[in-house]
Amino acid sequence: MQVLYGRHHVRVYRFALRLVRKEQVAEDLISEVFLDVWRQAGKFEGRSAVSTWLLAITRFKALSALRRKKDAELDDETAAAIEDTSDNPEVAVAKKDTGNALRNCLARLSQDHREIVDLVYYHEKSVEEVAEIVGIPENTVKTRLFYARKKLAELLKEAGIERGWP
């Protein structure tokens, strides 16, 4: 279990943190995820990569944790998190730091868009693996990421950054 934890816990934590946005909640989630793995080890059939299995469990637990919170409370926390963690896009542009503005806009995407961007770009998951983790058809995976990228472009445009696409 320690080897499994050592190999995967940082990525599981980061995936959870991007979904729930609260460090303590994300830390609680990873112990829940690995406890589930401990309990369900015999059920893992090896049809998918271990990391895909772990991310699917993490997503389920993160969404359950989010559902337990009141919407209003969550919205306040989300807004606070955006304001507290980094510059807003306009400030970033003022600093002529496109990378920083891009990261700010990535953080402002909806939960559906954040998770698909992270799974493809950071967790290096294939179309099939994302479909398995999120529980949607493969074609929907492709179009959802396309729309996430379009939304990202809109946010950047609002911040005064044109990248030549779309």
Interacting residues toward other proteins by CB under 8 A: 1-11, 13-14, 17-18, 23, 26-28, 30-31, 34-35, 38-39, 41-42, 44, 46, 49-50, 99, 102-103, 106-107, 117-118, 120-122, 124-127, 142-143, 145-146, 149, 152, 163-166
Largest Cα–Cα distance of the chain, in whole Å? Answer: 54
Nearest alpha-carbon partner for 156 in 119, 118, 104 = 104
Within 8 A by CB and 6+ apart from 151, the residues are 109, 110, 113
The least distance separating other proteins from the CB of residue 116, rounded to whole angstroms, comes to: 9
The least distance separating other proteins from the CB of residue 12, rounded to whole angstroms, comes to: 9
The least distance separating other proteins from the CB of residue 21, rounded to whole angstroms, comes to: 10
Nearest alpha-carbon partner for 52 in 17, 19, 24, 15 = 15
Nearest alpha-carbon partner for 29 in 50, 52, 54 = 54
Give the residue with the Cβ less far from other proteins, 49 or 94. 49
Give the residue with the Cβ less far from other proteins, 71 or 162. 162
The least distance separating other proteins from the CB of residue 94, rounded to whole angstroms, comes to: 18
Angle at 114 between CA 49 and CA 135, to 5 degrees: 45
